[in-house]
Amino acid sequence: MNVLLLFTYGISLKLWEKIGILSREVLLYQRLSEKGVNINFLTYGDDEDYKYQEMLDIRVLPVNKLIHSRNFLIKMLKSLFLPIKLKHTFRNIDIIKTNQIEGSWVGILGKIFYRKKFLVRIGVEWLHAHRNTATASSYTKAGFINYLKYFYQYCSLFLKSLIAYRLADRIIVTSDYDIPFIIKHFKLKKKFKNKKIHLIYNFIDEELFKPNNLTKIDKHVLYIGSLHHGKNVVNLVKAFKDLNDFTLDIIGDGPLEPKLRQLKEEFNIKINFLGRFPNVKLPEIINQYQIFILPSISEGNPKTLLEAMSCGVACIGSNIEGINNIIKHKQNGYLCNIDLKSIEAAILEVYHNSDLRKHISMNARQFIINNCSIQKTIEKEYSIYEKLIKK
């Protein structure tokens, strides 16, 4: 069984290592290799990506040399010829799998040219997320130019997704909200719901991300994630204006960091910008906190939330699609609205109610074991491979 994983367009193994997620992202494929699946990575890195081949025991095909150009459009056009330039590889694999929709055109052409099975995996359904974020931020009301930008992005996402979904032999989604959305908006027949679309949550290595007995930092709240609009970090920071005794610790970076630092100085808010950490370092850090928060406007199946839940930390999340299908209010987490007052009230209630914290922490860990363990993910994914090969 030979599987070719298409990296998201522009992403390399070197980049995964740089941002600290390499060990997490490759774990599933290393475990599948142990089950006899021959995994191949098609990455958008340069020759430096070859060094990971021996380390991971996975064949690596970096294609940056084949598509290199300073012109973005030319580079995109060159990527269309990858199935031809790498015809020996494409002819000798059984399944082409995407990591996201972006870059799926390589898999589409590989399916057409060589009649291979095409498995579309989406961590985030970007059209769904785009609609949710645009509605929440009122992009379409911010002037004609912004409306045109929104419309262009929408059309681009729609066309990429439409072609990929229609040609896919199987689709893997990480959020149950995405299944009815895909069927409705891309006109996929309902009869394919159970046969073609599979729900597999993002996996968690529950042996790495597990509770321990570290001393908790009192009145510190942890956020892990990108610092951009969709994560609602401005409202998160503003919520700490009146939480005078509390400190917000942020792991991550992004375009909104300068604005957040400005708010910190302007309102004298207690915030620590901790930067990035390798994923393997996060369990020790997460276990030092009583509360983790993710107040996003839009989400798919957030890995940082799942990792915090796996560590048995009391998690607060916004009451939106992608989070409220994971967190059940006051059962395995706490749901709040996206406005700063709701965020503030949630932090205070969870902090001051130790019985509630203990209850949701225990249930959060159990949710991960039942739904997101690495072993369950391997079994589900391997089963899909077997069905595709036999089809």
pLDDT digits (tens, 9 = 90+) for 342-355: 999 999 999 999 99
Q: Are residues 345 and 385 in the same domain?
A: no
Segment 367-379, tens digit of pLDDT: 999 999 999 999 9
Q: Are residues 32 and 162 in the same domain?
A: yes
Would you say residue 353 lies in a domain?
Answer: yes
Would you say residue 317 lies in a domain?
Answer: yes
Would you say residue 154 lies in a domain?
Answer: yes
Q: Are residues 136 and 239 in the same domain?
A: no
Residue 54 pLDDT level (bands cut at 50, 70, 90): confident
Q: How far is CA 259 from CA 119, 186, 225, 344, in A?
A: 40, 38, 16, 20
Q: What is the pTM of this model?
A: 0.89
Kindly report the average pLDDT of the chain as a whole number.
92
For residue 86, the 8-state DSSP code is T
- Give me the pLDDT at residue 124, please: 85
Segment 195-251, tens digit of pLDDT: 789 999 999 999 999 999 889 999 999 999 999 988 999 999 999 999 989 999 999
For residue 329, the 8-state DSSP code is B
Would you say residue 197 lies in a domain?
Answer: yes
Residue 312 pLDDT level (bands cut at 50, 70, 90): very high
- Give me the pLDDT at residue 189, please: 72
Q: Are residues 178 and 225 in the same domain?
A: no
Q: Are residues 151 and 94 in the same domain?
A: yes
Q: Are residues 272 and 349 in the same domain?
A: yes
Segment 57-99, tens digit of pLDDT: 899 999 999 999 999 999 999 999 999 999 999 999 999 999 9
Q: What percentage of the chain reaches a pLDDT higher than 90?
A: 81
Helices and strands (H, E) in the chain, number of each type: 19, 13
Look at 151-155, 253-257, 334-338, 340-344 and tell me which has the smallest mean pLDDT: 151-155
Whether pLDDT at 2 is above 70: yes
Q: Are residues 170 and 233 in the same domain?
A: no
Q: Are residues 12 and 108 in the same domain?
A: yes
Q: What percentage of the chain reaches a pLDDT higher than 70?
A: 95
What is the spatial distance between Cα 232 and Cα 228, in angstroms, rounded to a whole number?
A: 7
Q: What is the mean pLDDT of residues 288-302?
A: 94
- CATH number reported for the structural domain that contains residue 277 in this entry: 3.40.50.2000
Q: What is the mean pLDDT of residues 162-171?
A: 94
- Give me the pLDDT at residue 148, please: 78
Would you say residue 257 lies in a domain?
Answer: yes
Contacts of 240 (CB under 8 A, 6+ apart): 246, 247, 248, 269, 270, 271, 344
- Give me the pLDDT at residue 285, please: 97
Q: Are residues 121 and 234 in the same domain?
A: no
Q: Are residues 83 and 174 in the same domain?
A: yes
Would you say residue 214 lies in a domain?
Answer: no
Q: Are residues 167 and 231 in the same domain?
A: no
- Give me the pLDDT at residue 126, please: 84
Residue 40 pLDDT level (bands cut at 50, 70, 90): very high
Would you say residue 215 lies in a domain?
Answer: no
Q: Write out the residue range of the structural domain in which residue 88 sits.
A: 2-203+373-390
- Give me the pLDDT at residue 280, please: 93
Whether pLDDT at 259 is above 60: yes
Domain tally, the chain: 2
Q: What is the mean pLDDT of residues 34-44?
A: 95
What is the spatial distance between Cα 201 and Cα 294, in angstroms, rounded to a whole number?
A: 18
Would you say residue 213 lies in a domain?
Answer: no
Whether pLDDT at 134 is above 70: no
Segment 135-158, tens digit of pLDDT: 545 444 556 677 777 788 888 889
∠325-331-336 over CA atoms, to 5°?
Answer: 65
Place of tokens 């992009």: 139
Q: How far is CA 322 from CA 124, 129, 369, in A?
A: 9, 10, 19
- The type of residue at 281 is K
Q: Are residues 30 and 175 in the same domain?
A: yes
Q: Which tokens belong to 28?
A: 């599933």
- Give me the pLDDT at residue 151, please: 82
